[in-house]
Amino acid sequence: MHELSMANSIVETVIAEANKRNAESVSEVCLVVGKLSMLGLEQLRYCYKLLTKDTILEKSKLKIELEEGKVHCGRCKFIGPIKIREDPQYHIVYPTLECPKCGGEVEVVSGRNCYIKSIKLRQKIG
Amino acid sequence: MRRIVTPEEGEIFDVELEEQILKANDELATRNSEILRRHGVKAIDVMGSIGSGKTSLIELLIEKLNRKYRIAVFNGDLTTTIDSDRVARHGAEVIQINTGKECHLDANLVFKALNSVNLEQLDLIFIENVGNLICPGEFKLGADKRLVVVSVTEGPYMILKHPFIFMEADVVVINKLDLAESMGVEYEKLRSDALSVNPKVKVIGTICRTGKGIDKVVEALGI
């Protein structure tokens, strides 16, 4: 639901960076989105398209890489993918903060991020 | 023979950025939490769907605690002051945060609200987030505890359908227990759903209309 404000931050950040580097246009933006973030990728792409119209990002390609949800267990020191559980009654699959190894409580160490990894710029000629 | 390759003018070049978009909010949240700690003020982020009972719960908590603490409420809403007016009747200081069209409060809005109150005169702040079971979870505000209110009238699936906000929560309040039977929703199932997503969370059943369960909410929040 907050994809529009996220897309706006992304576009503003990229424009500032491109201007700083005297770029003519931006051809690609590579974004990393954590699987445990609450961002909808389809909506994010749609908002990005709307917001980049008539800017130096207009023809840019938005590349999205997904970051896996990783957890750390304080008890058994497990570090790895977050446990996914299924509720057979409702046919719902959901992540849980239970340690996949010992059943203890885990902390999320990655998968919540959203960051701009890199951008491709075209420099002004002359 | 050695060759040196340099980019031509007009050529495309890569820039590594690593620019965190969500982290900017996290940093502001940390700043809020430091400000609160410096003034000895505790803050509770109250999240939940529209109509789940966030305002009712806050009203009850104020009634329960206003002799012990000096309390303020930050009310996040799109445009109206309905909730603020309700809370103000209980004598707490109320700051309305209108988000316009935004679906959640963020750390910057809360920072502005913190600047508009006299923190020396306060012990406790309830931050009522925008009614939404998705986005507020992603934006930390700098509160000591995060509480999610759900009610049985939202149906039996809302916890498993929105696991992410429950992963962020310290306390889950399941409200309107008096309507559970008519709704065909079981409190125990909702409770086990919340614990299944987040084994650390404290789950409390309430009936905010009558005040049932409010003591346990206070206990769970450690205030």
> Which pLDDT tens digit goes with each residue over B11-33?
667 888 777 887 788 899 999 99
pTM above 0.90, yes or no: no
* A119 touches B: beta carbon within 8 Å: yes
Report yes or no: B143 and B168 within 8 Å, Cβ to Cβ: no
At residue A30, the pLDDT reads 95
* B3 touches A: beta carbon within 8 Å: no
Model confidence pLDDT, tens digit, residues B110-166: 999 999 999 999 999 999 999 988 888 888 999 999 999 999 999 999 999 999 999
Q: What is the ipTM of this complex?
A: 0.76
Model confidence pLDDT, tens digit, residues B197-214: 999 999 999 999 999 999
Domain ranges of chain A: 3-68+111-123, 70-108
Please enumerate in sequence order all residues whose Cβ is within 8 A of that of B98, keeping only pairs 6 or more positions apart, or say none: B77, B78, B79
pLDDT in 10s for each residue of chain A, 126 residues: 688 888 998 999 999 999 998 899 999 999 999 999 888 999 999 999 999 999 999 999 999 999 999 999 999 999 999 999 998 887 888 999 999 999 999 999 999 889 999 999 988 765
| Helices vs. strands in chain B: H and E counts, helices first | 9, 8
* A37 touches B: beta carbon within 8 Å: yes
Domains of chain B: 22-221 (3.40.50.300)
* B25 touches A: beta carbon within 8 Å: no
Please give the residue of chain B at the shortest CA–CA distance from A23: B10
Which residues of chain A form beta strands (DSSP E)?
23-34, 61-67, 70-73, 79-81, 83-87, 92-96, 106-110, 114-123
Residue B189 dihedral angles phi and psi, to the nearest 5°: -65, -45
Q: What is the CATH number of domain A3-68+111-123?
A: 3.30.2320.50
Report yes or no: B167 and B197 within 8 Å, Cβ to Cβ: yes
Model confidence pLDDT, tens digit, residues B21-75: 877 888 999 999 999 999 999 999 999 999 999 999 999 999 999 999 999 999 9
What one-character DSSP code corresponds to residue B112?
H
Of B160, B164, B198, the CB nearest to A87: B160
* B15 touches A: beta carbon within 8 Å: yes
Nearest-CA distance A112 → chain B (Å)? 8
Window B:27-66, CB contacts with A under 8 Å: none
Which of B87, B89, B178, B165 has the alpha carbon at shortest distance from A37?
Answer: B165
Beta-carbon count within 10 A of A5 CB: 18
Tokens 């977050």, residue?
A82
Which residues, in sequence order, are bridge partners of residue B203?
A: B172
Q: In 3-state terms, what secondary structure has residue A114?
A: strand
